[in-house]
Amino acid sequence: MAERTRADVALKNRDDFLGMVAHDLRGFMGEIALRAALVVRASSEARGDARMRDLGEGIQRSTAGMKRLVGDLLDIAAIEAGRLQVQPAADDLARVLRDAAEPFRAAAGTKGIALELDDAPGTVFALFDHDRVIQVLGNLVGNAIKFTPSGGRITFSLRERGDEVQIAVADTGVGIAADKLERIFEGYAQLSPSDRRGLGLGLYIARSLVEAQRGRIWATSVPGAGSEFTFTLPRA
């Protein structure tokens, strides 16, 4: 009993420490992002300093990546402590998907990848946490961008299936071997020792967020031809 109490206290102390560190890191990154934005704006106004603008935009991308990683680490701590929070509400999922497509399209475009939105029903009401669904989509799209070469394509689709709604993100990337399709959703999973393109947090967090909203998530793939990640949410 005493050991369990000490373990609980240690976990709480760790979570409190992570929260304080994350708060301070976000403050520093916010200042870096602000200064990078000023550099980009100044270089644009100068009309000719393209290198300065590129440097500023590079800083912005790196800062955004750091902020995502800090958020991922906090989510991992919340998942392991059983305190992951979601706030589902009835909303139009089709509208959310359309609104999210444009910024994701811009992110894919930086690598020369086209992002398309399949024809979806005009209105599809489901029970979900808006911000968390955007986070899941961001993780799936980010993963697709990593493993899809320039000239490839990423496609969103939305389908109604009985008492649930299915959202799919398909790509024309390198694909995943059949025996790895479940492992990729495990924490810190990487498909090979030489794969250094991330810590393997994104898909683990995505699965936890989907399941916290009473949904399911899975992947299908043809190696060399692409992958499709599908998750469900309950209809409202």
Looking at mean pLDDT, say which of 63-77, 98-112, 155-169, 199-213 comes out highest: 155-169
In sign, the C-alpha dihedral spanning 31, 36, 37, 42 is positive
CATH H-level, domain 89-234: superfamily: Histidine kinase-like ATPase, C-terminal domain (3.30.565.10)
pTM for the structure as a whole: 0.76
Residues 52-58, mean pLDDT to the nearest whole number = 74
H helices present in 48-91, as ranges: 50-80
> What are the CA-CA distances from residue 200 to residues 84, 165, 191, 232 (Å)?
18, 26, 9, 21
Beta pairing, strands 89-92 & 217-222: unpaired
- What integer is the mean pLDDT of 183-209? 71
**Average pLDDT value for residue range 82-87:** 89
Secondary structure tally for the chain: helices H, strands E: 5, 7
pLDDT over 80 (residue 20): no
